[in-house]
Amino acid sequence: PARDEILVDAETFPTDGYIAESAARMTGCRIRAVPAAEIGAACGPRTAVALVNHVDYRTGRLHDLPGTTAAAHAAGALVVWDLCHSAGALPVGLDAHGVDLAVGCTYKYLNGGPGSPAFLYVRRDLQPRFDSPLPGWNSHADPFGMAPSYAPADGAVRGRVGTPDILSMLALEAALEVWDGVAVEDVRAKSLALTDFFLECVAAYVPRGRVECVTPAAHAERGSQVALRCEDAEEVMRELIARGVVGDFRRPDVLRFGFTPLYVGYADAERAARVLADVLAERHPGGGPPGAGGTGG
């Protein structure tokens, strides 16, 4: 085929990369890893599709969805956006920006609970061409007809597979009711205020140089998390969790704090920074004065 290249966000969450490799094996395409910020410019006449994580799961960097999508389209390529860390955290504008395809989960900022269902977005005009690699009875045009041959349902419903996880769906339905009457723009404003405030508290409480913020300071480049590089991050996070501050450790040295604005308040952000400072002080007694600048770039 003329378009035989799949571009993959060089920092992608691993699952997405595995799926891109699997798609490449099945279609005879080759994979090229490109930093997310350069994917728009890297799309060329051989690019079939590009995969980009809207927010980097490690650093919390928010990538330019409108610009990358437009640049890919100008090169005749499609883009698949992974919205795991943006759905429920910030306005995405799939229709507004002409996004082709998107996937994501509902157990992060949509708070659907562990194992809650994934979602798929296919732009309306692409839906008739969307050929699911995982057809099942539940994506059939006549699901209970049990026909031996496959006929896909119309619309995005053809992305379904088999028997749905009903209990998970019920939990998700309840979680989504919390959003009734809520504007995602307001959630975004609170998210940025929370992450700003958390960074201020870290700068005030944590001795200078003990942690380095790897999440961009610019709001336009920040998701809803703060990632702090820190020595012995795995043990530090274990201790934070033991004290009720539940974040993640991401290899090799990152502490990740996610802020879900509908559930997390300023007092939680302040306490998280204070407990972090306590844990670090206990590990390195006499570690110097706290001070602005402690979080670095």
Ligand X SMILES: Cc1ncc(COP(=O)(O)O)c(C=O)c1O
Contact 10, 33 (CB under 8 A): yes
Distance (Å, rounded) from C-alpha 92 to C-alpha 97? Answer: 9
**Minimum distance between the CB of residue 108 and ligand X, rounded to whole angstroms?**
7
| Residue 190 is among the residues annotated as catalytic for this protein | no
Mapped onto helix, strand or coil, the DSSP state of residue 180 is: coil
**Nearer to ligand X among residue 109 and residue 205 (C-beta):** 109
Distance (Å, rounded) from C-alpha 107 to C-alpha 199? Answer: 25
> Interacting stretch for ligand X, rule CB under 6 A, among 8-16, 40-48, 183-191, 228-236?
8-16
9 lies in the site for ligand X, by CB under 6 A: no
84 lies in the site for ligand X, by CB under 6 A: yes
**Nearer to ligand X among residue 55 and residue 279 (C-beta):** 55
Contact 58, 10 (CB under 8 A): no
Task: Kindly name the residue from 46, 58, 210, 256 that is annotated as catalytic.
Answer: 256
From residue 134, how far is each of 31, 140, 215, 223 by CA, in Å? Answer: 21, 11, 36, 31
Q: Which of 7, 48, 52, 57 lies at the binding interface for ligand X (CB under 6 A)? A: 57
The DSSP bridge partners found for residue 244 are none
| Residue 186 is among the residues annotated as catalytic for this protein | no
SS (H, E, C) 28-97: CCEEEEECHHHHHHHCCCCEEEEEEECECCCCCEECCHHHHHHHHHHCCCEEEEECCCCCCCCCCCCCCC
The DSSP bridge partners found for residue 48 are none
118 lies in the site for ligand X, by CB under 6 A: yes
Q: Which of 53, 106, 111, 224 lies at the binding interface for ligand X (CB under 6 A)? A: 53
Q: Which of 8, 78, 92, 105 lies at the binding interface for ligand X (CB under 6 A)? A: 105
Task: Kindly name the residue from 3, 13, 130, 250 that is annotated as catalytic.
Answer: 13
If binding means CB under 6 A, how many residues of this protein chain bind ligand X?
A: 10
**Nearer to ligand X among residue 57 and residue 121 (C-beta):** 57
Distance, CA of 267 to chain centre: 25
**Nearer to ligand X among residue 15 and residue 22 (C-beta):** 15
**Minimum distance between the CB of residue 82 and ligand X, rounded to whole angstroms?**
5
| Residue 222 is among the residues annotated as catalytic for this protein | no
146: left (phi over 0), alpha (psi -120 to 50) or beta: left
Report which residue type is found at 31: I
Task: Kindly name the residue from 46, 58, 61, 108 that is annotated as catalytic.
Answer: 108
Distance (Å, rounded) from C-alpha 68 to C-alpha 292? Answer: 35
16 lies in the site for ligand X, by CB under 6 A: yes
Q: Which of 9, 82, 100, 239 lies at the binding interface for ligand X (CB under 6 A)? A: 82
* Burial classification of residue 113, based on how many CB atoms lie within 10 Å of its CB (0-12 exposed, 13-18 middle, 19 or more buried): middle
Q: Which of 15, 41, 151, 241 lies at the binding interface for ligand X (CB under 6 A)? A: 15
**Nearer to ligand X among residue 56 and residue 100 (C-beta):** 56
**Contact residues for ligand X, defined by CB under 6 A:** 13, 15-16, 53, 57, 82, 84-85, 105, 118
Q: State the catalytic residues.
A: 13, 82, 107-108, 256
